[in-house]
Amino acid sequence: MDDVRASSAWVASHSSHVVVDSSGIEKVAETIDTIPKVNWDFEGIHYFDNGPLTVQYLFVLDALNFCFWPDKDLNYDNLAAGLKAALQNDKSVFDVDRLQKYTGPELRELLKWHRPLPLEDERVRLLHEVGFELERSFDGKASNLVESCGKSAVKLVALVTRHFPGFRDHSVYKGHQVFLYKRAQIFAADLWGAFGGRGYGEFYDIGSITIMADYIVPAVLRQLGVLKYSATLASRIEANSQIDAGSEEEVELRACSIYAVEKMKELISMKSGKQVLSIELDLWLWSFGIQCPALQHHRTLSIYY
């Protein structure tokens, strides 16, 4: 995760459209004595049986966890709850031979979603990729992938990005490679949250995981006064104009969010004298954001978030 932190800091120091406001970070840190605890499954929408099937479910979930905004009625809850219901109905639904064969209409049927999904072809392609590589390298089970990381979240992210190209969330910004790894990191975070830091969710280096840079967190940070946007970028977001994946604006929104929350974490840790986890901050910011339906976020077509 050092690459994520270092490259995000580089973007923040060279940013043209997004500014990280140090005084805004300090104000937020001053108002927080402890990070409000948010239970991982606070909405009750995830499958959990405390075993390998939960790991398989989470990996499929995180392979598909991106780009809901083009359908105003679709969100993460629909995906998580839809996959949960499908698995409860048929325990073989995420077997690798089936993952490699799903079509768009079949995926819709799994989710009980009766119109085409955003980026549906990519979602199907990524299901096939997950099924193929799990079968080839991990005997068909995401739990074997997790067990092979030796209880290291950092190694798990490295294994996921090495074996599954669809998780390789990086960009080139002003000639500099930037690593963000949202979905690979959220897999580690979901395991930790679901299993309560035990069993498949036990990682000795969970503190190495950064926030998961998506649509919601930058918008929340802007509302909190931590991020400032250029007038041009602000107007594009407020007009719901699409921002291209890999553009300077898009990379800055995500990388500056990571950098800002790392600085926020440092200040809160110093103030409280306790270790603060980025993933706890991420869950708090995200849960805050989804409770503000009027919050305007940037719109980018991307398989990474």
Q: Specify the pLDDT at position 243.
A: 98
Q: What letter does residue 107 receive in the DSSP assignment?
A: H
Q: What letter does residue 192 receive in the DSSP assignment?
A: H
Provide the 3-class DSSP secondary structure of residue 298. coil
* Per-residue confidence band for 8, with pLDDT thresholds at 50, 70 and 90: very high
**Is 62 tagged catalytic?**
no
Q: Provide the greatest CA pair distance for the chain.
A: 53
Give the active site residue among 169, 190, 214, 282. 214
Q: Model confidence over 105-158: pLDDT tens digits? A: 999 999 999 999 999 999 999 999 999 999 999 999 999 999 999 999 999 999
Q: Specify the pLDDT at position 35.
A: 75
Q: Cα separation of 6 and 15, whole Å?
A: 14
Whether pLDDT at 34 is above 80: no
Q: Specify the pLDDT at position 41.
A: 85
Answer yes or no: are the C-beta atoms of 25 and 263 closer than 8 Å. yes
What mean pLDDT, rounded, does the chain reach? 96
Q: Which residues contact 178 (CB under 8 A, 6 or more apart)?
A: 7, 8, 10, 11, 170, 171, 172, 251, 255
Residue 20, H or E segment: strand 18-20
Give this prediction's pTM: 0.95
* Per-residue confidence band for 79, with pLDDT thresholds at 50, 70 and 90: very high
Q: Model confidence over 199-243: pLDDT tens digits? A: 999 999 999 999 999 999 999 999 999 999 999 999 999 999 999
Q: Cα separation of 299 and 167, whole Å?
A: 20
- By C-alpha distance, which of 210, 214, 174, 171 is closest to 62? 214
What separation in angstroms does the CA of 170 have from each of 16, 165, 191?
Answer: 19, 11, 22
* Per-residue confidence band for 86, with pLDDT thresholds at 50, 70 and 90: very high
Looking at 58-67, 211-220, 285-294, which range is the least confident one? Answer: 285-294
Residue type, 303: I
- By C-alpha distance, which of 94, 48, 73 is closest to 198? 48
